[in-house]
Every structure is written in C-alpha cells, then in structure tokens.
Amino acid sequence: MSTTGNGAGTRKLEVIGTAAETTLGATRKKVDASPPVSKLGPVEADLPASRRVYLEEDELRVPVREIQVTGGQPPVRVYDTMGPQGHDVQKGLPRLRKPWVEARLARGDRNFSQMHYARKGEITPEMRFAALRENVSAELVRDEVARGRAIIPANRNHEELEPMIIGRKFLVKINANIGNSAVSSSIQEEVDKLQWAIRWGADTVMDLSTGANIHETREWILRNAPVPIGTVPIYQALEKVKGKAEDLNIDLFLETLIEQAEQGVDYFTIHAGVLLRYVPLTAKRITGIVSRGGSIMARWCLAHHKENFLYTHFEDICEVMKKYDVSFSLGDGLRPGCIADANDEAQFGELRTLGELTQVAWKHDVQVMIEGPGHVPMHKIKENMDQQLALCHEAPFYTLGPLVTDIAPGYDHITSGIGAAMIGAFGTSMLCYVTPKEHLGLPNRDDVKTGVITYKIAAHAADLAKGHPGAQERDDALSRARFAFRWNDQFNLSLDPVTARAFHDETLPAEAAKSAHFCSMCGPSFCSMRITQDVRDYAAAKGIGEDEALAAGLQEKAAEFRGVGSALYVPEDPA
C-alpha cells in the first residue's frame, strides 16, 4: 500500500532473468554481450537551452544546470541531479570520490561516516561539494552533519556519487523509487530507469528490486548512479528465506547488509522500531499495518513472540553502517495507511523508539534520517513534524507524502503532493514521491515522470516558504519571461519544457506565436499584460507616489490614449 510496496511489487510478476544474464561485479567485468542502447531520448530534447556547467573550487568541480534565457536576461542556474552524460553504462560513471576514499583507507580509518569526520572537525570534500551545490558554507554543512541535523549519504564504495546533503537548513530533496522489470532486464534497461528519474530531478533513488537478479541489478544501478541509492535490505533477506518471515534472523540480515554495503548502497531502510508491544495497537485501525517491511517484522515478532531482532541487535547493525558509511533511514513500519489511522498510538510509539535508536546510532557516529507517513489530514501534519523533531532530536525527516485524503486513487500524486509541500515547509528534509498509480498498480515511465515533477513542485514550494536563498530566482525569471511574452524562455525555465510547449502549441502552434505579444487566453486585440507596460512606462517616467506628478501624468496619459485612437492593444515598434 506504500510506494515502497509499489516498487517491490514487480517481484511476483517478474520472469526471472537467465543465468546467461550479465553479472557486472564490483570488478566491473564486462560480460554483457548485447550492445547497450538507451531508450531515453537525448537530454537536450527534454531540457532545451540547458547545459551542464561547473562551479570550481580547488580540485572540486560541482555541476549545475544553466538555462539560457533570451531578452538580454542572465542565464538561470539550477541544481542538477543528472550526473555526467554519454558514458558507457557497462563501464559505469567516472569515480569522482576515488581519491578521497583512498586517502582515508591509506591513513587506516575505521569509521568512514561523514558524521564521524564532522564531529572531529574535519571538513571532507563531500561536505565542500554539498556546500557548493547548496550555495552555503562548508562549515555550516559540517556543523549540521556533526549535530545529526543533516546527513550526507555517501557509502565509501559508491565512488561515482556526486555528494549531496539532506537536512532542513538545505534545499528540500525528493526520492524516486524504481524496481526491476517484470521481464528480465538488461543493464541499459535498469540504468534507463535511474537516468529517467534523475533527469527530472530525483535527488536520491531507492532500488526496490527483488527476485533472482537482484544483486546484479543493484550493481548496474550503483555503478551508474551520481545520486545516493537507498534500499530496503529486509526484502532481499526475505528472498533468502523463501518468503518465510519467521525464518529471518540477525546473522542472515547482517550478511545481507554487508553484501549491499560492499556494493555501495548509501542508505538502508531498517524497520527496527516495530516493537512487539506496538503490534496489537494496530488492531483497531482501519488499514492496520501497510508498510511491507513493517508487516514482515510484525509477523516475525508474533511468530516468535520475541522482540524485533533489528531492535535487539541494533548496535551490531551500527558496526556495519559505520564501516562503510551507510546512513540509516529508520523505517516507519507502523505508519498510518489511511486518514483515520493518522497520528495514533502505534505510529507515535514507534516514532519514540526511532528517537531512542537515533541516539544509539549517533553514539557510533552513524548518520540517521527518520521515515514518516503516509496518510495524514492537513490539520494533523504539523504535529507529525513537531513530534519528529522533539522525539528524534532533529534528525532529518523523510516522509512519504503524506496523502491528505483517501478518496482519490489515480490522483494520489496530487493528494500526497499537497501534504508533501506542507510538511516540507514545516521542516521535512526529503520527500518520497508518490505516483498516480499509488494503491492501484505499477508505475510506468510516464507515472515516474509525473511523480517526480509533482514532488519537485512540492519541494520547491517548500523552499520558497522557507525562504531558501535564491530559491525564488527561477520563479521570477519565468514570471518575467511570461510578462514579456518570451514563450520559449517560459517553457525552458519550467520543470517540464516539453509539456509546457505542447500545451501552448495545441492552441497556437505557429512558431510566430512564440514571440507574439499575446496569448490564446485573451487574443491579440486585448491583453491585460499590455496595459501593465503602459502603467509601468508612466510610473517609471514620473515616479510613483509623487501625487502631483501622478495627477499630471494621468492627465497626460489620458490624452495620449485618446490620441492613439484608444486601441486597447498598442503594438510595439517593429524594432
């Protein structure tokens, strides 16, 4: 019932890949026979007038996307998640972090966590990289990571990563979930999904693949991922015990964690807060337990009548996490699955436990974020944020939506986008996207795009509400383009230029209309934008608020208007 469940769903539908299928190991051994061919169009087609440029500082080259604007306006630079383009997916991305990691290995570090370095007062290249992307100081980044108020998910074995930061003093981030295909996949197919999600702005991607070729799929994704990759290890652990939750145990789980950590997974969703005593609290709910990981652990607890082994062995898990710098995404296994179940005893009980576990993780300098709901009516959203900050000691909050009503399946990207924008403005650091297929089926390519764009809207709206420095520049640039009828600029500055242009062209296809000083809404002979220009010209000439000048000016203007025959539309000179 969750987006997590959504992605995971491919499992039961998939045709297991053959053994002949590629196994791209950490050694990057190339064994795929078929030449990779991407089904994605070129970036330029989706994001015209854009180019990847770099902010340089010492050895660092930090990517931003620069959107060219006409009309003598400066280009607009926006945060870029796409990563390097045009590489051979079988070789993977350039290993940006290789030298940084090797230096740490050379000096014999044992705890590779960014929090560990931050607390020692060390500003890492990852911190400087993230700081440049956010246009803030590296010291702010270090301080927030040291306090646990922000995380930099960066497994030391994910050397292809372009480091980024998740915390409420920074830009609100969004996560997109992908899973392996219902049919056996090729490298290119899996990487295409990743590329598609980050092309539209996903800041992190969770790989919820399941089934036989799960290890290889994850390898392909990691070697080609410029963004942090998250997983839910319990899914693979469950595969290993053939779907019998009660056969799970801590050794099997740790083995799975190490396997994934070795590959370079940056954060793990771990449902260590689903305690035995909380399980019966879900009985009175309308939709009970809707988290897949949560119900697996609940089933284990009931079957053994023992406490959740993820909770009882939490420190063993921390040992793995710090060795690779994998961040915790402490799962909300008891999150509400409908409006009626929001903010109940089970949910907040688990949240309290996640707060305790956060302090245990921090004892090991392991980075932590906290997962949140789910389904919450608008008037109960702020309480979620307030409780999370209080109970989890300001660790970053990572929420799924929340959906603010249950009556619109097919439109849950919207019902959840409303809640996401609000909780983002209240302080949530990352928003897990929801697609239109939520609760109904498996998202296709269009659904993934719609989900990502909707969540970029929610995250950006939250950035504006939080007054993030520079966030409004893009809004203003687009609004100026709109006012000046620079249609192509308006399209290019938007989150989805292709769709904006297509909608415009449905009514006014002619290329000439792209520069026409009117739009289809009011037509050429009248335009509300035109008079504003007249008002502006007048005010600029006379100065505003100078009453005499105003009076005189209005007289003048009045005469002038009558002079030109009082046409409501005064065309500009051809010049």
Subset of 535-554 contacting a copy of itself (CB under 8 A): 535-536, 538-540, 544-545, 550-551, 554
In whole angstroms, give the CA distance from residue 431 to residue 420: 6
Asked if 1 touches a copy of itself (CB under 8 A), the answer is yes
* Closest CB to a copy of itself among residues 263, 291: 291
Tokens 């697996």 sit on residue: 296
Q: Within positions 10 to 39, which residues make up the interface with a copy of itself, using CB under 8 A?
A: 11-13
Given 58, 506, 572, 573, the residue binding a copy of itself (CB under 8 A): 506
Least distance CB 412 / a copy of itself (angstroms): 9
* Closest CB to a copy of itself among residues 265, 296: 296
Least distance CB 530 / a copy of itself (angstroms): 8
Least distance CB 38 / a copy of itself (angstroms): 24
- What does each C-alpha distance from 351 to 83, 150, 233, 471 come to in angstroms? 35, 18, 20, 31
Q: Which of 222, 216, 187 is nearest to 35 (CA)?
A: 187
* 417 labelled ligand-binding: no
Which residue type occupies 37?
V
Quick one: residue 413, left, alpha or beta (phi over 0 = left, psi -120 to 50 = alpha)?
Answer: alpha
Given 85, 137, 312, 532, the residue binding a copy of itself (CB under 8 A): 532
Exposure string for 514-550, b = 16+ CB within 10 A, e = fewer? beeebbeeeeeeebeebeeeeeeebeeebeeeeeebe
* 333 labelled ligand-binding: yes
Asked if 48 touches a copy of itself (CB under 8 A), the answer is no
Least distance CB 145 / a copy of itself (angstroms): 27
277 touches 271 (CB < 8 A): no
* Closest CB to a copy of itself among residues 204, 295: 295
C-alpha dihedral sign at 406, 407, 413, 414: negative
Least distance CB 106 / a copy of itself (angstroms): 45
Question: CA 364 from chain center: how many Å?
Answer: 27
* 546 labelled ligand-binding: no
DSSP 375-399: B--GGGHHHHHHHHHHHTTTPPEEE
Asked if 418 touches a copy of itself (CB under 8 A), the answer is yes
Asked if 322 touches a copy of itself (CB under 8 A), the answer is no
Asked if 337 touches a copy of itself (CB under 8 A), the answer is yes
Asked if 507 touches a copy of itself (CB under 8 A), the answer is yes
Q: How many residues bind a copy of itself (CB under 8 A)?
A: 136
Given 16, 26, 105, 303, the residue binding a copy of itself (CB under 8 A): 303
Cβ contacts of 6 within 8 Å, gap of 6 or more: 177, 179, 208, 435, 437, 438, 442, 443
* 522 labelled ligand-binding: yes
* Closest CB to a copy of itself among residues 163, 294: 294
Asked if 347 touches a copy of itself (CB under 8 A), the answer is no
**Three-state DSSP class for residue 127:** helix
Given 46, 109, 247, 356, the residue binding a copy of itself (CB under 8 A): 247
In whole angstroms, give the CA distance from residue 150 to residue 199: 24
* 413 labelled ligand-binding: no
Q: What is the DSSP letter of 521?
A: T
Exposure string for 188-209, b = 16+ CB within 10 A, e = fewer? bbbbbbbbbbbbbbbbbbbbbb
Given 349, 377, 391, 393, the residue binding a copy of itself (CB under 8 A): 377
* 519 labelled ligand-binding: yes
Asked if 213 touches a copy of itself (CB under 8 A), the answer is no
In whole angstroms, give the CA distance from residue 358 to residue 190: 33
Asked if 411 touches a copy of itself (CB under 8 A), the answer is yes
Cβ contacts of 261 within 8 Å, gap of 6 or more: 155, 157, 320, 321, 323, 324, 326
Cβ contacts of 285 within 8 Å, gap of 6 or more: 336, 337, 338, 340, 341, 344, 346
Q: Within positions 467 to 486, which residues make up the interface with a copy of itself, using CB under 8 A?
A: 467, 472, 474-476, 478-480, 482-483
Asked if 52 touches a copy of itself (CB under 8 A), the answer is no
Query: Per DSSP, which regions of 360-496 are E strands?
Result: 368-372, 397-400, 430-432
* 291 labelled ligand-binding: yes
* 338 labelled ligand-binding: no
Least distance CB 571 / a copy of itself (angstroms): 15
Asked if 299 touches a copy of itself (CB under 8 A), the answer is yes
Dihedral angle of Cα 223, 226, 231, 236, to the nearest 10 degrees: -10
Asked if 69 touches a copy of itself (CB under 8 A), the answer is no
Given 393, 442, 516, 517, the residue binding a copy of itself (CB under 8 A): 442
Interface with a copy of itself by CB under 8 A: which range of 16-24, 54-62, 149-157, 298-306?
298-306
Q: What is the DSSP letter of 272?
A: T
Tokens 């898990």 sit on residue: 317
Asked if 571 touches a copy of itself (CB under 8 A), the answer is no
Interface with a copy of itself by CB under 8 A: which range of 98-106, 107-115, 334-342, 361-369?
334-342
Tokens 């051994």 sit on residue: 29
Least distance CB 411 / a copy of itself (angstroms): 6
Interface with a copy of itself by CB under 8 A: which range of 117-125, 287-295, 363-371, 384-392?
287-295
Given 104, 169, 240, 304, the residue binding a copy of itself (CB under 8 A): 304
Backbone angles phi, psi at 157, to 5 degrees: -90, 0
Given 284, 390, 469, 511, the residue binding a copy of itself (CB under 8 A): 284
252 touches 234 (CB < 8 A): no
Per the annotation, binding residues are 177, 206, 235, 271, 291-293, 332-335, 371, 375, 398, 439, 519, 522, 527
